[in-house]
Chains A and B, each alone.
Chain A
Amino acid sequence: MSAVIEVENLRKSYGGTVAVDDVSFTVAQGEIFGILGRNGAGKTTTVECLVGLRAPDRGRIRVLGRDPMRDHAELTRWVGVQLQDSRLPERLRVGEAMRLYQSFYSDPADPEELLAQLGLAGRERTPYGRLSGGQRQRLAIALALVGRPRIAVLDELTTGLDPHARRDTWELIAGVRAAGVTIVLVTHFMPEAERLCDRIAVIDAGRVLVTGTPAELIEHAGRPTLEDAFVALTGRTS
């Protein structure tokens, strides 16, 4: 399995605040890679550097062998992104949003099929402003996948979803991976990481604490579950 994402010694600060201090990891073709960390650990900044929304202060990033900043235009064709805190115009309808994003790509997926898989069938005419939080979340996932990306970067995949929708979404993601798509999953929801991720990097205070399979992390921390392992790894009393 060849590496499709390589991050080496990434550092990024805003003014005086260091968001990412020193992060390195590689993601292999076709795997689901989890980035775990507490709020403010540097997960989102790492992802933003990965998709070329922010220039790193230091370090080297390669996505499909390209530089996310320099080769940004080319990479947008191959990398589908679900961002935190990114909304759509209130009056844009679900079907219109899908057709709009579909028009950006040369070989898109079938929007109706995607909407059906995400439980949004029959919602085509609903304006974005009238969707529930969970529906917006699922639409964002659909938009990330509509371009048939080779890599999908999903920030907070199932935040705000009810248990049923969450399980359906997990199934969809597993299916997308089975089709050969590499997935980077940012989360602080442990059952999700345990269920989906092949490997996980635990980030804390802008640094990678440990990388490994869920089983390896549990063993490493000497705790019964991934959640216990995570709390033990990232627990600071300060």
Chain B
Amino acid sequence: MTTLTLTELKLFLREKSGPAFGVGLPLLLLIIFGNLPFYNERRTDLGGLTLLDTYVPILVAFALGMLALNVLPPVLAGYREKGVLRRLRTTPVGPVRVLAAQLIVMLLTAAVAVATLLLVARFAFGVVLPRQMAGFLLTTLLAALALTAVGLLVTAAAPGGRAANALGAVVFYPLVFLGGLFLPIPVMPAMLRHISQATPMGAAVTAMQDATNGRWPHWLALVTLLAWAAGAAVAAARLFRWE
């Protein structure tokens, strides 16, 4: 299992697009937003926070979504398409452990991405660290689980690597929109805000913003994330084929 995980990690780093999209791109967005004066003005409609303060949780969710929906599905669906999983079924380790190794690699990368975002935001742009850190980390973990489960569902539903790439993007962009990447959730119209709260990205961002402000995340947001994690995982397991 160690050799398998290290091999998957090497392949992931060698591929370069995974680290670039999962860590580099969110960091780049943070640096761009952080340098725009508009994002650093305190705003009354955001409760005295700057736009950048509210964007750090969005970028954290963005990074998780990138990894779960745009990086993981093409890799796994590609393995299935190429017969990598089929071949592994004839060995003592079986294909389930490749899945596990991939999830470990994704989780490690997500941890690096989240830590980098929080620390760069704090030390380069003066964004305060989440005041309710335990709540923030719990939300991050649940969000990672929920989005990964959706990513596995995308993998299960897509016939091959290319299709998984396309389907992942089709799911990703509406989700990040509802997560507030283009329009912060607090200033969304009521209807859109309600829809947003029902999605994993919207629930995650709201809960993270609560934690950033020092409040324990609302239980409804956490339950929403858990429900997505469980529901999508069950659906993925039912749909998933090894070949």
Residues in A lying within 8 Å of B, measured CB to CB: 51-53, 73, 76-77, 79, 81, 83, 85-89, 91-92, 96, 99-101, 103-105, 143, 147
The smallest beta-carbon distance between A3 and chain B, in angstroms, is 21
Q: Which residue of B lies closest to A96 (CB)?
A: B7
- B44 on interface, CB distance cutoff 8 Å: no
- Complex Cα–Cα for A87 and B4 (A): 17
Tell whether, in the assembled complex, residue B10 and residue A79 are in contact, meaning their CB atoms are under 8 Å apart.
no
Cα(A77)–Cα(B92), bound, Å = 6
Q: A85-B83, A86-B84, A87-B84 are in contact. Are A100 and B7 (CB under 8 A)?
A: yes
Chain B positions 14 through 57: 1 when the CB is less than 8 Å from some CB of chain A, otherwise 0: 11000000000000000000000000000000000000000000
C-alpha spacing A88/B11, complex, angstroms: 11
A100 touches B87 (CB 8 A): no
A76 and B7 contact, CB distance less than 8 A: no
Residue contact B3 to A99, C-beta cutoff 8 Å: yes
Q: Are B92 and A83 in contact (CB under 8 A)?
A: no
Q: Could you list 19 further interchain pairs (A-B, Cβ under 8 angstroms) beyond the known A73-B92, A89-B79, A104-B91?
A: A53-B86, A53-B243, A73-B94, A79-B90, A83-B90, A86-B84, A86-B86, A87-B82, A88-B82, A88-B87, A89-B11, A91-B15, A92-B11, A99-B3, A99-B7, A100-B3, A100-B4, A100-B7, A143-B87
Task: Say whether chain B's binding surface is mostly helix, strand, loop, or mixed.
Answer: helix
CA distance A51 to B93 in the complex (A): 15
**Chain A residues near B3 (CB, 8 Å)?**
99-100, 103
Chain B contact residues, CB within 8 Å of chain A: 2-4, 7, 10-11, 14-15, 78-79, 82-84, 86-87, 89-94, 243
Contact B92 A105, beta carbon cutoff 8 Å: yes
Name the contact of B91 in the complex, choosing from A76, A92, A96 (C-beta under 8 A).
A76
Partner of B4, one of A51, A52, A53, A103: A103
B243 neighbours in A (Cβ, 8 Å): 53
Nearest opposing residue in chain A for B242, CB measure: A53
Chain B residue numbers with a CB within 8 Å of A105 are 91-92
Bound complex: CA A104 to CA B15 (Å): 24
Q: In whole angstroms, how far apart are the Cα atoms of A219 and B2 in the complex? A: 55
User: Are A89 and B84 in contact, with the CB atoms below 8 A?
Assistant: yes
- Which residues on the B side are within 8 Å of A147 (C-beta)? 91-92
Report the 4 A-B pairs with minimum CB-CB distance, sorted nearest first.
A86-B83, A103-B3, A81-B90, A87-B82
Chain B residue contacts of A89, Cβ below 8 A: 11, 78-79, 82, 84
Residues of B within 8 A of A104 (CB): 91-93
B86: chain A residues within 8 A (beta carbon): 53, 83, 86
CA distance A99 to B7 in the complex (A): 9
> Do the beta carbons of A92 and B83 come within 8 Å of each other?
no
Are B92 and A76 neighbours in the complex by a CB distance under 8 Å? yes
How many Å lie between the Cα of A100 and that of B14 in the bound state?
17
Q: Across the two chains, which residue of chain A brings its CB closest to B13?
A: A91
Q: Hey, which chain B residues are within 8 Å of A101, CB to CB?
A: 91
Q: Which residue of A lies closest to B10 (CB)?
A: A96
Query: Which residue from chain B places its CB closest to the CB of A77 in the assembled complex?
Result: B92
Query: Contact at A83–B87, with CB atoms within 8 Å?
Result: yes
Q: Quick check: B90 and A91 within 8 Å, CB to CB?
A: no
